[in-house]
């Protein structure tokens, strides 16, 4: 008799669900990476406005779901992991090594991702690069492992079911119990995470520490004080510098306010998993670009008052720069921007990661 959860068919099913969650995680992770570091062939549209919100939500939620699945899977194959002799043959050694790589890289991805959504960075490597690179290792070794195991899984599925008399009531209950506990853990983990991005689940989003805080009812990732822009952002001498084919122009806040103002309801969708809709108003980026003679398909860079760093500037691709919903926002919910949300002026564009919605703008340049 096998212990609950240790039947090959259970391990096989868990493996299949792990492959599904890791597959979703990899695809949505590649999308997020592509938007932030676009290779030449990559195109990300500006509509639908909530698409990135959904893909990044799926990224975080599928990663969270994979944690209890991986734990259950390790439990279900635990005796095999500690089998003796450790090495039986060369193929066996290779299989074990690939398994070691798979378990290590998969655990690393899930763990670093988990810390990341809790906005906790207890390491000193640059998270996106390492998470991206190890992602390839995890998915590569997962594919290899699946290829080796598919025949085993097939066989387990095709095995005749034991007659009920042999199964015994205790055994049946414990196997169901094992799968039940796994499903319950996955459900709980998903529920408490989904609240970071699904409004009616927000109250139970225990991981989304930041998704409930923030001025003007919107979370804040980096405050004006933390970015060191409290004084420069409130300076009455502030001007927005706009560089285009026709030269450089500068605009004061009242001058920006004298442009036609537009309002757009757009989400901030943070790569860390939280997202929230808000009502923004300000000047259309396309209108300002026209004022400096930029072509309709201009690509631009927006830069912050914040000192150089990974978040102090971002590139706005032509589709986004031309989109009428892309604003140099001056207001949030009808009020002037709070310093923490980018006063006096921030970028807000449809279907873009939060990390590229640059705050405290100082310069817009046509590339």
Q: Are the C-beta atoms of residues 287 and 259 closer than 8 Å to each other?
A: yes
Q: Would strands 275-284 and 346-348 be described as parallel, antiparallel, or unpaired?
A: unpaired
**Continuous segment of H or E residues that includes residue 254:** helix 253-258
Minimum gap (Å) between residue 53 Cβ and Mo ion = 12
Minimum gap (Å) between residue 258 Cβ and ligand MTE = 24
304 binds, among ligand MTE, Mo ion, none (CB under 5 to 8 A by kind): ligand MTE
**Continuous segment of H or E residues that includes residue 107:** helix 90-117
User: Pattern of binders to ligand MTE over 101-140, x per CB under 6 A?
Assistant: ----------------------------------------
Compute the half-sphere exposure of residue 31: CA atoms within 13 Å on the CB side of its CA: 21
User: Count of residues binding ligand MTE (CB under 6 A)?
Assistant: 20
Mention every residue, 6+ apart, whose C-beta is less than 8 A from residue 259: 283, 284, 287, 288
Q: Which of 70, 78, 136, 146 is nearest to 107 (CA)?
A: 70
22 binds, among ligand MTE, Mo ion, none (CB under 5 to 8 A by kind): none
Q: Which of 243, 238, 248, 249 is nearest to 330 (CA)?
A: 238
Cis upstream peptide for 48 (omega within 30°): yes
Q: Which of 196, 206, 201, 181 is nearest to 69 (CA)?
A: 181
CA distance 15 to 71: 11
Between residue 109 and residue 128, which ones bind Mo ion under the rule CB under 5 A?
none
The one-character DSSP state at 84 is: S
User: Pattern of binders to ligand MTE over 296-335, x per CB under 6 A?
Assistant: --------x-x----xx-----------------------
Which residue's beta carbon is nearest to the bound ligand MTE?
354
CA distance 15 to 151: 13
Between residue 212 and residue 251, which ones bind ligand MTE under the rule CB under 6 A?
218-222, 227
Which of 118, 183 has the CB closer to Mo ion? Answer: 118
Q: Are the C-beta atoms of residues 274 and 219 closer than 8 Å to each other?
A: yes
28 binds, among Mo ion, ligand MTE, none (CB under 5 to 8 A by kind): none
Which position has the token pair 């290899």? 144
Between residue 25 and residue 84, which ones bind ligand MTE under the rule CB under 6 A?
none
Q: Which range in 126-134, 181-189, 193-201, 358-366 contacts ligand MTE by CB under 6 A?
A: 358-366
Q: Is 348 in the site for Mo ion (CB under 5 A)?
A: no
Q: Is 355 in the site for Mo ion (CB under 5 A)?
A: yes
Minimum gap (Å) between residue 3 Cβ and Mo ion = 44
Binding site for ligand MTE (CB under 6 A): 218-222, 227, 268, 270, 304, 306, 311-312, 341-342, 354-355, 357-360
Binding site for Mo ion (CB under 5 A): 221, 270, 354-355
């Amino acid at each position: 008799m096998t212990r609950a959860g240790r039947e090959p068919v259970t391990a096989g099913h868990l493996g299949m669900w792990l492959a599904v969650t890791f597959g979703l995680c990899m695809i949505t992770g590649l999308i997020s990476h592509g938007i932030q570091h676009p290779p030449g062939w990559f195109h990300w549209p500006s509509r639908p406005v909530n698409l990135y919100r959904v893909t990044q939500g799926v990224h975080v939620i599928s990663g969270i779901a994979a944690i209890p699945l991986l734990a259950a899977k390790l439990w279900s194959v635990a005796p095999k992991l500690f089998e003796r002799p450790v090495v039986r043959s060369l193929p066996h050694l290779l299989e074990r090594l690939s398994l070691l790589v798979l378990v290590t890289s998969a655990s690393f991805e899930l763990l670093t991702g988990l810390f990341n959504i809790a906005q906790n960075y207890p390491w000193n490597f640059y998270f996106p690069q390492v998470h991206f690179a190890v992602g390839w290792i995890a998915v590569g070794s997962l594919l290899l492992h699946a290829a080796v195991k598919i025949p085993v899984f097939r066989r387990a599925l095709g095995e005749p079911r034991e007659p009920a008399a042999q199964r015994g009531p205790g055994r049946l209950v414990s196997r169901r119990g094992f799968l039940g506990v796994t499903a319950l853990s996955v459900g709980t983990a998903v529920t408490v995470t989904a609240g970071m991005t699904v409004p009616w689940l927000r109250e139970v989003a225990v991981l989304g520490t930041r998704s409930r805080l923030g001025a003007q009812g919107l979370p804040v990732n980096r405050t004006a004080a933390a970015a060191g822009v409290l004084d420069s952002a409130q300076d009455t001498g502030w001007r927005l510098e706009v560089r285009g084919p026709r030269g450089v122009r500068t605009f004061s806040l009242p001058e920006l306010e004298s442009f036609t103002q537009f309002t757009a309801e757009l989400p901030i969708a943070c790569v860390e998993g939280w997202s929230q809709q808000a009502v923004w108003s300000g000047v259309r980026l396309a209108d300002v670009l026209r004022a400096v003679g930029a072509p309709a398909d201009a690509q631009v860079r927006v830069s912050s008052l914040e000192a150089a760093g990974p978040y102090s500037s971002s590139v706005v691709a032509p589709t986004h720069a031309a989109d009428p919903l892309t604003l140099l926002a001056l207001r949030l919910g009808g009020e002037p921007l709070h310093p923490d949300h980018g006063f006096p002026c921030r970028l807000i564009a449809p279907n873009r990661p939060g990390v590229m919605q640059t705050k405290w703008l100082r310069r817009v340049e046509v590339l």
